Each structure stands twice: as structure tokens, then as C-alpha cells.
Amino acid sequence: MDEITLVNFKQKETFVESDKIKEIITRSVAYLNAGFPVHYRGPAGTGKTTLAMHLAHIFSQPTVIIFGSDEVRSTDFVGGQFGYRKRVVIDNYIHSVIKTDETAEQKWVDGRLVTACKDGYIVIYDEFSRSTPETNNILLSVLEEKVLELPINRDGETYIKVHPDFKAIFTSNPEKYAGVYNTQEALLDRMITINLEHWDRDTEVKITVSQTGLGLEDARKVVDIVRNYRKKVNGNISIRAAIMIGKVVNVLNIPILPENEMFIRVCEDILGGRGGADSADMSAVIQSRQQAAPASVEQIVRNVVPRMS
């Protein structure tokens, strides 16, 4: 079994706190201080994980991160019997005799949730709705009765009381192709869900500046191209696209101008393959995008960014 990694989040220099973000952080801090878990829900790239990590930094408590998936088992939460010890006894007096105790000895190792509940850590459960409901059920009593039930084959206590400093921050993506299981009603009922959408223009510009080092004017152009394309395809074109365009422009050292062919091609590459399609008909969408997208991306760039002359 892996060792449990605790993280102490430092303030990220690139973290942007616009008024809208500040407001969400203030509410989130209040909810956690009142003893309720916070859940950020929103499409890909809306800043859920970034916000969760920033919150952990604000509380400056050791943090355990769990990434939801159907591979997560309840043993990851509560622990289990792992490995075995083999005792080797070397007899110093009679050199030729080495006794080996072949009896395998299993050892109980506490899982992440036990550690966090006992010692009062923060748990960030990223994309929790990707794990099976059976696995997540263990959280119900932790969040409500503040008690964690332990398996009977663990030595010592059969349950532990959750430490008062324990805090839980969840993230999830509601789009049906992203989550494998329906989010459990009972879990949702125990947490405070903040629905996130793509940020306002000003926040997106600030994030692009801070993540790419582009100047304000250039960041505005890139964000406007992305926002226009998002509106046009009515899909989930996230801030990641603006960050990508900005970083690539820096590497290539090209101007953000419609007469720069390379800039147009970069925008087409980065925006053309994105969209909010079901995985089932994805190939058809990609095919149609490959034909349709370049022209429209180019058009958007030309509409958004004025020519030099």
C-alpha cells in the first residue's frame, strides 16, 4: 500500500483573486468553519481544483488528496491488511545457522480517511463522483454523525470520532461523460455545493496574464477569441485554451495579429478540437470540426483582433 502523502499548500504566486473569486472563497471559508463540507461543481477548466487547493492553503492544515475513480476502494479510505513481514534471525555464534521465521505477518495500515479524521486534516476529494457509490458510502457518517466506522479486523477501536479540525472539500464535473456514476443524493445532501461556471472576462484576462506572462492587451485579445469561440460552438471551451494559446505564442515569439498566419494556425489547432460533445458521437464531431472549425476560428480571430494598419 502507498504511503499517505500529506501536502501543505503554499500560496501560489499565480493564483488570481478577482472580486468574484474572493466572494466565493469568503463563503467557502464560512461553510467549512461552520462544519460543512464544500463542493465545487462545474465543467472542465472552471477552476475547481485550483480553488480547493487554495482553500487548503488558507486554512494551512495538512491536506490529504484523493482522486476519485472506479479504482478507489474502501481500503484506500479506511485501510486494510497489507504486506507481510518475514523475520530473519541470524545467529551470531554459529555462523552456519540462519533461522528464518516463515510465518507471514500481516500488518494493518490505516487508510487516508482514518488518518485525516483522527488527526484533523483537510481532505480534498477531487472528482469524487467518479468513484463508486459503495466506496463513497463510508463518508456519510463521517460528514453527518462525525464518526468513522472501522472494519472489525482492525485492532483496537471499531470506530473513531472525527477530529473537530477535519474538513472536506469536494469537486465534481456534472457533465455526463465525465462522471461514471450519478452523484449520490445522500452525499450531496450533506455538503454545500457551489456551482462554478467559466469566469467573467476580467477574471479570465487576469488568469491568462498570471499563467502565461502575456501583457494585458494581448491577454485581452486571446481571452476574447476564446470567449467568442465558446459562444459560437456553445461548448465547454475553458480558460485552459487561452492559457495554451498564450504559452505557445510566447514560445514562438509571434505577434497576436490576424495577418500572422502562424497565430491563426495556432488558434485553430488549440480551439478546433475542443467542444462539449458526447463521447459516443465524438468521432463524427471531430470529423465535422476538422472541416468546419478552421474557417470559423480564423473568422473569430479576424473579428476580435484588429489589423495593424
- Give the contacts of 188 (CB within 8 A, at least 6 positions apart): 39
Q: Is 15 in the site for ligand ATP (CB under 6 A)?
A: yes
Rounded Cα distance, 298 and 34, in Å: 50
Rounded Cα distance, 163 and 148, in Å: 10
Beta partners for residue 170, in sequence order? 39, 125
Q: Is 239 in the site for ligand ATP (CB under 6 A)?
A: yes
Min dist CB 44 to Mg ion, Å, is 8
Q: 5 or 290: whose CB is closer to Mg ion?
A: 5
Secondary structure of 205-267 as H, E, C letters: HHHHHHHHCCCHHHHHHHHHHHHHHHHHHCCCCCHHHHHHHHHHHHHHCCCCCCCCHHHHHHH
Q: 117 or 199: whose CB is closer to ligand ATP?
A: 199
DSSP character at residue 23: H
* Binds ligand ATP (CB under 6 A): choice among 47, 68, 258, 272: 47
Q: Count of residues binding ligand ATP (CB under 6 A)?
A: 19
Q: Is 24 in the site for ligand ATP (CB under 6 A)?
A: no
Q: Is 49 in the site for Mg ion (CB under 5 A)?
A: yes
Min dist CB 238 to ligand ATP, Å, is 6
Q: 20 or 99: whose CB is closer to ligand ATP?
A: 20
DSSP character at residue 163: P
Name the residue number minimizing CB distance to Mg ion: 49
Cα within 13 Å of Cα(288), Cβ side: 7
* Binds ligand ATP (CB under 6 A): choice among 6, 25, 49, 120: 49
Q: Is 193 in the site for ligand ATP (CB under 6 A)?
A: no
Would you give the end-to-end CA distance of the chain in angstroms?
64
Q: 49 or 193: whose CB is closer to Mg ion?
A: 49
Q: Site residues (CB under 6 A) for ligand ATP?
A: 14-16, 21, 42, 44-50, 173, 207, 210-211, 239-240, 243
